[in-house]
Amino acid sequence: MDSERIRIERTLLIVKPDGVDRRLVGGILSRIERKGYTIECMKTITIDRELAEKHYAEHKGKPFYDKLISYITSGPAVVAVISGEGCVGGLRYLMGNTDPLKAAPGTIRGDYATNVTKNLIHGSDTLENAEREIALFFGGE
């Protein structure tokens, strides 16, 4: 009998200011836990401009960059480290397409997001970015 190797991954989750403002944090976290993922640690912060610019560095120079920075720094956000089998891709699937009009019903964005900028939630897109983003938000903790 072959044993399957289970790959436990860690990823960064951000419930963005619109999700906090609309009081959707509990519902979003509940969906993540019901999927079988673990919330390893979590905190509520207001992301400052310096941290936002580091987090979104790959978007610098794009037309939406300034709007993105203004939005993510506009109020409290909940940041968390999520772990579980295949959770980087799994969480992104659960989140749905960045554009809520293209996000499938049953996904977080498909059910709750209102537009591309205010799309409620962020999840790391690769294992490498997950490591970098977790270090940015939870470095010394």
The DSSP annotation for 16-73 comes to -HHHHHTT-HHHHHHHHHHTT-EEEEEEEEE--HHHHHHHTGGGTTSTTHHHHHHHHT
* % of the chain surpassing 90 pLDDT: 87
Q: Which residues contact 70 (CB under 8 A, 6 or more apart)?
A: none
pLDDT in tens, 87-122: 999 999 999 999 999 999 999 999 999 888 889 999
Q: Exposure of 28 by Cβ count < 10 A (0-12 exposed, 13-18 middle, 19+ buried)?
A: buried
Q: Which residues contact 11 (CB under 8 A, 6 or more apart)?
A: 81, 82, 83, 87, 88, 91, 123, 124, 130, 134
Residue 117's pLDDT is what? 84
Give the active site residue among 24, 84, 122, 123.
122
122 catalytically annotated: yes
Residue 4's pLDDT is what? 65
Cα 7 to chain centroid distance, Å, stands at: 20
- Reply yes or no on domain 8-138 having CATH 3.60.21.10: no
For residue 68, what are its two tokens? 């993105």
Count of other CB atoms within 10 angstroms of residue 94 = 20
What residue type is assigned to position 66 of the chain?
Answer: D
pTM of the complete model = 0.92
